[in-house]
Amino acid sequence: MKLSVTIYSVRDYVSRGILDVPKFVEVVAELGADGVDLGYYWKSCEERREAKRRLEELGLELACYITSNDFAKLRAEERRAEIERVKAAIREAKDMGAEKLRIFAGSLREGMDPKQVEEWVIEALSEVADYALSEGVVLALENHGAYFSKASVIERLLKAVNSPGLKLNFDTGNFVHAGDDPVAAARKLGRWVIHVHAKDIDEKGVPCAPGEGVIDFESIARELEAHGFNGYFSIEYEGARDQLIGVGVGLGYLKALSLRMKLAGSPS
């Protein structure tokens, strides 16, 4: 089980100027993770170059590049702008040396026809997946948003696009919010998974650090292993406590879980 931390986990530290991206890389190295997820918090091109240097110096991998997009737009010109946004992020990911780029499908808003929106999203995903392949990058579609977090919807999108350039960023917590069992989702969707967002939820539905809530990470890991997954579990902390502490708690839990699985004879 390789472990990463997405920079979104410490968004308050970044917004308050306590951490810039290169310093975040250093902090994650000190915490003992194997990689980081970076993107859309850059202040400048120079900061991006410096972060890349720090990754190389510290021996951390850029586990996944991240961007934010919404293909569920009513107007064709808005959808075109979102496609171009993702293409630009693909080029950034390639420049940073990342093999994967996390993207979204979009947000189904009130009054929209789900079937029509899915058609728009599939069309956009097909185009950006082709472009990603031409640039040597694979897109990791996250189950994100009330509608596009559902395992059945994600499966339809992945089957419809049917491209080696489009895989799945499996967000454990988002499946729970969508009313799905993440273990069953791992069984159903495991063949597409190339990256995991490790996010936990307590009994009241409140986000917490991995290991503090109700999500069965061991069963998820075993289901994904059965499909050949050997990628990253990336901490995405959204709880109420100090974000750096939450990240540390989650990393500690997943490290211990990985060790326990090894001792129990798991190939992880």
Going through the chain in order, the beta strands assigned E by DSSP cover 2-6, 35-38, 61-66, 100-103, 138-142, 166-171, 193-198, 200-201, 207-208, 232-235
Sorted by sequence, the CB contacts under 8 Å of residue 203 that are 6+ apart come out as: 213, 214
| Whole-number pLDDT of residue 268 | 44
Residues of the chain with pLDDT > 90, as a percent, come to 98
Classify residue 39: in a domain, yes or no. Answer: yes
SS3 (DSSP) at 262: helix
Does this model's pTM top 0.85? My answer is yes
| Whole-number pLDDT of residue 264 | 87
SS3 (DSSP) at 128: helix
- Beta bridge mates, 168: 141, 193
CA–CA separation, 99 and 121 (whole Å) = 23
| Whole-number pLDDT of residue 265 | 75
Compute φ and ψ for 116, nearest 5 degrees: -65, -45
Classify residue 19: in a domain, yes or no. Answer: yes
CB 163 within 8 A of CB 156: no
Give pLDDT tens digits for 2-37: 999 999 999 999 999 999 999 999 999 999 999 999
Classify residue 268: in a domain, yes or no. Answer: no
| Whole-number pLDDT of residue 102 | 98
| Whole-number pLDDT of residue 266 | 47
Mean pLDDT of the chain: 97
Classify residue 109: in a domain, yes or no. Answer: yes
Classify residue 85: in a domain, yes or no. Answer: yes
Classify residue 79: in a domain, yes or no. Answer: yes
Inter-CA distances, 210 with 10, 248, 250, Å:
15, 10, 5
- Segments of the chain with pLDDT less than 70: 266-268
The residue segments making up the domain with residue 44 are: 2-263
Closest-CA residue to 42 (of 57, 26, 69, 22): 22
Classify residue 216: in a domain, yes or no. Answer: yes
Give the β-pairing of 200-201 and 138-142.
unpaired
CATH of the domain at 45: 3.20.20.150
Classify residue 243: in a domain, yes or no. Answer: yes
Domain count, the chain: 1
CA–CA separation, 210 and 237 (whole Å) = 8
